[in-house]
Homo-oligomer: A and B are copies of this chain.
């Protein structure tokens, strides 16, 4: 168990072939002319000795690996993000890449790039916010062929190709629906939670744009995820409600479904009717959306096509060496209408 691990030379001796042949066979090089009989003998010898190729050695030899490094993002991972990662993993696997997720969330810029580069991946899919020009230079200098930014906060990177989300469009879609269902005011909740705030501001900007276009009052609420904060805001909001109409209906876009659940619980505790007094729209279409009473109207992000697209683009950049920046995609979204509006 503590004996020295077998090398490809040991396999070569065991199989009675050259070390190069072992390498050809075990790395599935199809350009090499090796008979089926020899292939079988090499594989058998490798199995017997417990030898597996060394990804690091292969990297040194070929100049690059098939590893795709995905540094983890410093935001709370929801079920949506986890599902996306799983899909991306299989799509990259189909194209012959191995995706590894990597933490070290504390590192930024060049320090982060150095840590990523040490693993000599062939590609890096990193949060656009962590990619400075210097960092990208470090990655390319280390032989990494493709660097793609993931625009968490919704801004395309000015340095590399970015895949991002149309946060403003999400807010606007929710707001248009709220107005169509008869609300006289628009409110956007922006999570106080670090890591969500930037996205929240973008979504709120979309709500504000629609409010301005329709000339209805607009509020932005910075809200911590707690019942007491929500109750305090509700008190203040009711005190400040000077619209005068007895039957003014308010519309709130809650950033996501979790905040919608929070708001609806506090509204119910205060005897405020949803959707009679307040219309509520969430985002994500989590399983809980259908379990709320009234059932939650929400914005659903269609992420089904994103992983395959991302994997193909990455492969294209690796093969062609394409650089420069472009916007890869704005994931489509759609309103799921239920009973809270």
A residues apposed to B, CB below 8 Å: 1-2, 4-6, 49-57, 59-60, 63, 65, 72, 76-79, 82, 85-86, 89-90, 93, 98-106, 114-115, 117-120, 137-138, 140-143, 225, 227, 258, 261-262, 265, 268-269, 287-288, 290-293, 321, 323
Contact = CB atoms under 8 A, between A and B. Distances in A.
Contacts of A100: 100-103, 119
Contacts of A225: 287
Given A52-B138, A76-B79, A288 B288 contact: yes
Residue of A99, A101, A115 contacting most chain B CB atoms (<10 Å) = A101
Given A50-B141, A119-B55, A268 B288 contact: no
Contact of A2 (B258, B262, B321): B321
A50 B137 contact: yes
A70 B143 CA distance: 26
A99 B50 CA distance: 25
A57 B60 contact: yes
Given A99-B103, A261-B291, A287-B258, A54 B60 contact: yes
Copy number of this protein in the oligomer? 2
Given A99-B103, A261-B291, A288-B261, A54 B50 contact: no
Contacts of A86: 72, 103, 105
Nearest to A257: B288
The 10 closest A-B pairs by CB, nearest first: A56-B56, A50-B141, A89-B103, A5-B143, A101-B101, A55-B118, A52-B117, A265-B291, A77-B82, A100-B100
A142 B56 contact: no
Nearest to A55: B118
Contact of A59 (B56, B77, B104, B137): B56
Contacts of A115: 98
Nearest to A3: B141
A110 to B, nearest CB: 9
Nearest to A261: B291
A131 to B, nearest CB: 15
